[in-house]
């Protein structure tokens, strides 16, 4: 199964927001493309972002797997040493308002929102150096779910 254009756009946005990102894209045919500052790198992270922003409708990417060096990427969330990254289609202001309205957010957790105007997404960095990995994962999944619900509500109200 290959990743959708939207999923690959999320990967590009996260790679740009995560410091010193390096990732490996594996195609369905077994080829590997390295993105980031690496001797075997095929393109820089910004080049990957520009590629995804200029993607032609009707062409589907042929990427079957994504692997971030030094992190775990699952279900749209990059987990890396005390930090989680996720993407939403909401603007930075909409994202911040949605996250501020969340009840039950761990006191130790903080969220930083960066809008990627080129990709038309916002990246949320959830930081909590004093939480366990499981608690940080739970906070990131909760934020991701809240943002997805907000995106869906906005789509329905616009229709």
Question: Nearest 10 degrees: CA dihedral of 3, 25, 134, 112?
Answer: -90
CA dist 36 and 115 (Å) reads 20
pLDDT of residue 148: 96
CB 64, CB 2: distance < 8 Å = yes
pLDDT of residue 24: 95
pLDDT of residue 157: 87
As averages over each run of 10 residues, the pLDDT of the chain (159 residues) reads 90 94 91 88 93 88 92 95 95 96 85 97 94 94 95 89
For 22, other C-beta atoms within 10 Å of its C-beta total 19
pLDDT of residue 74: 95
Rg (the chain; Cα; Å): 16
Q: What's the CATH code, domain 77-158? A: 3.30.70.60
pTM: 0.93
Q: Where are the domains of the chain?
A: 5-73, 77-158
pLDDT of residue 2: 86
Question: What is the end-to-end Cα distance of the chain in Å, rounded?
Answer: 30
């Amino acid at each position: 199964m290959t990743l959708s254009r939207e999923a690959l756009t999320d990967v590009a946005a996260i790679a740009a927001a995560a410091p010193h990102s390096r990732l490996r894209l594996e195609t369905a045919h077994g080829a590997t493309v390295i993105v980031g500052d690496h001797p075997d790198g095929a393109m820089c992270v910004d080049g990957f972002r520009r590629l995804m922003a200029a993607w032609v409708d009707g062409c589907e990417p042929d990427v079957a797997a994504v692997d971030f060096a030094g992190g775990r990427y699952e279900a749209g969330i990059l987990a890396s040493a005390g930090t989680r990254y996720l993407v939403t289609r909401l603007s930075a202001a909409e994202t911040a308002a949605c996250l501020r309205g969340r009840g039950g957010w761990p006191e130790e957790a903080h969220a930083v929102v960066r809008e990627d105007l080129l990709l038309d997404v916002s990246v949320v960095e959830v930081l909590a150096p004093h939480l366990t990995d499981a608690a940080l994962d739970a906070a990131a999944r909760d934020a991701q779910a809240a943002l997805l619900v907000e995106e869906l509500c906005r789509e329905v109200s616009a229709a």
